[in-house]
Structure 1
């Protein structure tokens, strides 16, 4: 026979091109594989009749086909032989297509006639069972010629039909290949006699042997025709999913560089990339590259993605599915996700699943049940932290697993505001920033859309001014006592006063009229976002809080101006959020979303074109995230527009000048950050000039 040196699934049917011709001439078949199922040898039934007529004999060594329950029982100390017996019997049920049962019946007759012997091999170390993963085989004919082969095929339907497989062949009559073939045969002999260090090779369970013989007695001994091979259902087993970059995705140069830098840093580091530049896809490209490296070593990869909120988990699930793997969502009841996690991890330990993907909320990740899984993790683990700055808090950073060799943090602003300790903890765990793409560079290269920025100064009314002046005086007193407004948490009273002051500015009544004018001028436009101040308008002690800005804006936009609008808050159910996003993205249905405490971190709404900021905290993370929501690229989107309502006291208000000046600096830092990258920086400077002159801040 003129065998090729290699058979690959892209070129031919490996079973038809190699295995069956070899069976037609061989008298001895010896095979050692990773694991097998009842469907495997049944596929060879086309060629086994001739093999049997020549008195052919077979020896097979394979790992038992263990599932998650089997592994758990073994690790709890159950009798190993009993568990293996159970696993073998599970493969020999009557719930198989007739074609496969006929093939199994033929194998049963082989066993009864003494022509087939099976042994099971496994690694057992420190109370744990591992898969025997070697794959080699030997054919011999009656003349003594030998053919050795190695390859990726397992003796399963998936391994022989569904997967992409290759086999390297070494005919013994070729001088260069004969030595390899004989060495493979010697290795098999060591296995068969249980002389291979680190492996345990046991006889096939008697009850399973008897079951195969019973099937042989029950099934007819008719010869199976080649055409019946096609009747084998190819969906009985499917290839385990692997991470693959989608064919429709063309990674950008900066994404490639980010992944390269992370891999060069041994799979650790922080990607500091502007909101909207594709951090999620960059992380998935990195995970895919890592999994392919490990796959070559026949090592699995567990990818753990941690996101702060459930709707971000849902977005990540869609992203991971685009890369070819269906992840497990780890949130809400552990009864839903825990069995799936345990089952997939067990399959990965046995080499049956190359990738396990888990997407968890911060709270579920840090919970006792999931932490227990992480503590027992022995597989290669990649931790991807979305909006990683959140994990720097004392509540979460101690939950990050020390046994994760690969770590990737994603954030446009990884530095924690007024929390150097938390920032340092993130860097200690994930590593330094290995790639940075700021917003200015992202806009220049076209990764984000250009935008126009229009701040509007809104004066406080009389009542707001009186309350504001009183709060500013109290703040001045606390500062004179040594309290620092840059560290409000160090003084609870000062922190409260600053929040009240910010509340007055955020809920300023004059903003509603300004919003009315601006939205009315865009009454026919779609893709509009309105960010409202949180809670209700603050009031002096003893008085009832003022109205809720979100309700007022929704009434103004929806009822008074007649736009199709809907609120979007942290209380909006997940299913409703998805529906709102779909409606908003059509450009024909929902014109505006009115948001409070939402639409900040990670929410993907690339179609948004106009944003009205009625309130933003001085925390740079929030306003950077909000700007990023509006700068994502979308079809037909040429630029974005940001309208920023800045509330100020009247010019004649008797405020403490130095205190007001110091606090105003923080507000102007935000407006300057928005303005400097805009298309109309000059207009912004003209608008803010009177305010800067009043407080002697022209040098900003």
Structure 2
């Protein structure tokens, strides 16, 4: 509380005020303003003249840093409505109408001091104004509610009634208001409810309403008014904010359309037909590199076309959800090929929220026949994006790329019931150690309606053929002991089911599984073996190297070396300094622009010879030029190794074969009987991946011969 400022509780505020019994300005507004640090007001109309009525009380309020937030509705005229119907951007029309209201106020002498106060408060950041309107059922309507909240540091006073925030509303008309004081038991709940209603309104979370910022446009007017009153300059029309999104005009299709130059393969047509036949729901299990994105967009285009046949004005909202930001950009590029510019929803909410809300308004009003939002899993699950989805009442297609990610509990709970049409994409839709998450995905998206594995894709010419080289390395003694300890903990947890039902990475089971995988991925014997393999291919280009994430599990132990370089750091040094091969790392910390530059350099074939990464190249990154892949991170998770194989099998000009070098981890020869079964299971898991890779390789027989001694040694001839 500022020095000399009395609290709201001592302002003598009553429970109601009416024009025949009191002066509402003198008896309510000014005492409340004198005791407040903030004033929130939501009304049908607002004009600057009201600020002059509040006079000295407002000056004192502003002097002590009091803040005002106003939500009002501009007065729309016939020509405004016609412009909206004609397809002009709603925000543009509303801003013009609100500016017109304020301009007309400039001509009223009584508004002069009010506009001056308005300009000063805007300039000092003490006053914000937003515009509200009804946007539902294909119509635009006035926001006509009248509520207000005064607050000090402890309490609040909420009120509602007939008065607008205009000069006649406070002075000339017959008005009444009801007042609710938070410190009165009978008023407290109503006061808090009105406060919540205003906060939702201000944050644009109120169903049926749109609320858009207006302060920036208003600031231009107040500055111009100040100049005009100083030098009598002529009042010219103000420009509208150039960032406003202009909605498609009704003479454009606003539909996804399959581009004429696109050669849709027969298996992609079959996948789309299978999805149609299953009621426009289902999951496409398609190998990495077989064109899942183009298949999904073809399905969306055909759906939009079918809806339009049934109903000429049918509009389809398509929402694409992907794991990472770079995939938003990749999908957006492909969507533009299909004739639409999508809204990219990631990073700052301010960068996309207004555009998305305007798109939904256009769909509701029929001024746009379609639209596409592309977003990340993180943004999709956030409250702002969810509020956008809740507004939409029309046709809605949800496409989930790498759909297995949405089976995580925090994400599947956000999947919208309002999506009539649902399409999931993944080479491996099943979730690893998470039956419940897998089941939830199938319940929401539907069953797998089409499958195309890597073998089928190679046979169809969608992926290239490959050779496979397994390289066997041993754990050292410390690594073997730690692996056994972690495996025993996992076995006990599985036996008594003491783990998260979702199998997420942060669950107790998930953390143990990740630690065990890290032991294998960081096995110290891999680096010398990698050097030998890279020496054989030292003159070759287009080489990808997948490293294990983080640090060696033993580096942080009691006797570990906290300064031990990560596997990625060691591999970068090996390739660049020791072997003199042009190389660079590509990680989650690499800025997006630099990532694009690295991929461009790598694909050129004469600049960057080796690209080293961890997980960033797993899902969705297009590197078709890659011809060799070193898999240092030997995960037993099928999703990871299938995706990594798919990365290097993509077709590219002049590319006939790919070469996969896989590092297989086994225990040392001399081990104790205590850990014998643990070691046998370790090798069995490694061989499961090797068998899958070898099965489709050009050199399958040679690969199986290399591994036969291991099968004999660990009694795994039948696996």
Gap change, CA 1:403 and 1:485, over 3 Å in 2: same
| 1:508-657 pair list within 5 angstroms | 508-539=523-554, 540-545=557-562, 546-654=564-672, 656-657=675-676
- Which one is further off, 598-607 or 532-541? 532-541
**1:81 Cα offset (Å):** 8.0
| CA deviation profile, 1:30-70 (whole Å, cap 9, x unmatched) | xxxxxxxxxxxxxxxxxxxxxxxxxxxxxxxxxxxxxxxxx
Q: Are positions 1:676 and 2:684 aligned together?
A: no
Task: Indicate if the aligned counterparts of 2:666 and 2:682 stay in contact, CA closer than 8 A.
Answer: no
| 1:266-665 pair list within 5 angstroms | 266-296=279-309, 297=311, 298-460=313-475, 464-469=476-481, 471-472=483-484, 475-476=487-488, 479=491, 483-484=494-495, 499-539=514-554, 540-545=557-562, 546-654=564-672, 656-665=675-684
**1:273 Cα offset (Å):** 0.7
CA RMSD of aligned residues (A): 3.0
| Distance in 1 between residues matched to 2:352 and 2:73, nearest whole Å | 28
**1:260 Cα offset (Å):** 0.8
| Distance in 2 between residues matched to 1:432 and 1:498, nearest whole Å | 28
Partner of 2:16: none
**1:538 Cα offset (Å):** 2.2
Task: Indicate if the aligned counterparts of 2:601 and 2:608 stay in contact, CA closer than 8 A.
Answer: yes
3-state DSSP of counterpart to 2:429: coil
Partner of 1:687: 706
**1:488 Cα offset (Å):** 7.4
| Distance in 2 between residues matched to 1:442 and 1:536, nearest whole Å | 36
3-state DSSP of counterpart to 1:660: helix
| Distance in 2 between residues matched to 1:689 and 1:89, nearest whole Å | 76
| CA deviation profile, 1:633-690 (whole Å, cap 9, x unmatched) | 1111101110011122221233621121123211111111111111111111111111
**1:236 Cα offset (Å):** 10
**1:339 Cα offset (Å):** 1.1
| CA deviation profile, 1:156-210 (whole Å, cap 9, x unmatched) | xxxxxxxxxxxxxxxxxxxxxxxxxxxxxxxxxxxxxxxxxxxxxxxxxxxxxxx
Counterpart among 75, 82, 101 of residue 76 in structure 2: 82
Gap change, CA 1:419 and 1:583, over 3 Å in 2: same
Structure 1, unaligned stretches of length 5 or more?
Answer: 1-72, 94-123, 132-234
Task: Indicate if the aligned counterparts of 1:418 and 1:487 stay in contact, CA closer than 8 A.
Answer: no
3-state DSSP of counterpart to 1:575: helix
Partner of 1:112: none
Partner of 1:142: none
| Distance in 2 between residues matched to 1:243 and 1:495, nearest whole Å | 40
| Distance in 2 between residues matched to 1:666 and 1:398, nearest whole Å | 32
3-state DSSP of counterpart to 2:352: helix
Task: Indicate if the aligned counterparts of 1:472 and 1:501 stay in contact, CA closer than 8 A.
Answer: no
| Distance in 1 between residues matched to 2:394 and 2:271, nearest whole Å | 25
Task: Indicate if the aligned counterparts of 2:397 and 2:422 stay in contact, CA closer than 8 A.
Answer: yes
| Distance in 2 between residues matched to 1:568 and 1:421, nearest whole Å | 34
Task: Indicate if the aligned counterparts of 1:392 and 1:423 stay in contact, CA closer than 8 A.
Answer: yes
Gap change, CA 1:572 and 1:487, over 3 Å in 2: farther
Task: Indicate if the aligned counterparts of 1:616 and 1:622 stay in contact, CA closer than 8 A.
Answer: no
Q: How many residues align?
A: 488
Q: Are positions 1:245 and 2:245 aligned together?
A: no
Gap change, CA 1:332 and 1:89, over 3 Å in 2: closer
| CA deviation profile, 1:522-541 (whole Å, cap 9, x unmatched) | 22211100001111122243
| CA deviation profile, 1:540-599 (whole Å, cap 9, x unmatched) | 434234431101111111121111111011111111111111111111211110011220
3-state DSSP of counterpart to 2:670: coil
| Distance in 1 between residues matched to 2:510 and 2:276, nearest whole Å | 43
| Distance in 2 between residues matched to 1:327 and 1:495, nearest whole Å | 36
| Distance in 1 between residues matched to 2:269 and 2:363, nearest whole Å | 28
Gap change, CA 1:337 and 1:487, over 3 Å in 2: same
| Distance in 2 between residues matched to 1:596 and 1:86, nearest whole Å | 55
Task: Indicate if the aligned counterparts of 2:634 and 2:662 stay in contact, CA closer than 8 A.
Answer: no
Structure 2, unaligned stretches of length 5 or more?
Answer: 1-45, 47-69, 89-132, 141-247
| Distance in 1 between residues matched to 2:510 and 2:273, nearest whole Å | 44
| Distance in 2 between residues matched to 1:81 and 1:528, nearest whole Å | 64
Partner of 1:167: none
| Distance in 2 between residues matched to 1:394 and 1:482, nearest whole Å | 20
Task: Indicate if the aligned counterparts of 2:542 and 2:610 stay in contact, CA closer than 8 A.
Answer: yes
Gap change, CA 1:453 and 1:334, over 3 Å in 2: same
Task: Indicate if the aligned counterparts of 2:468 and 2:660 stay in contact, CA closer than 8 A.
Answer: yes
| Distance in 2 between residues matched to 1:243 and 1:273, nearest whole Å | 22
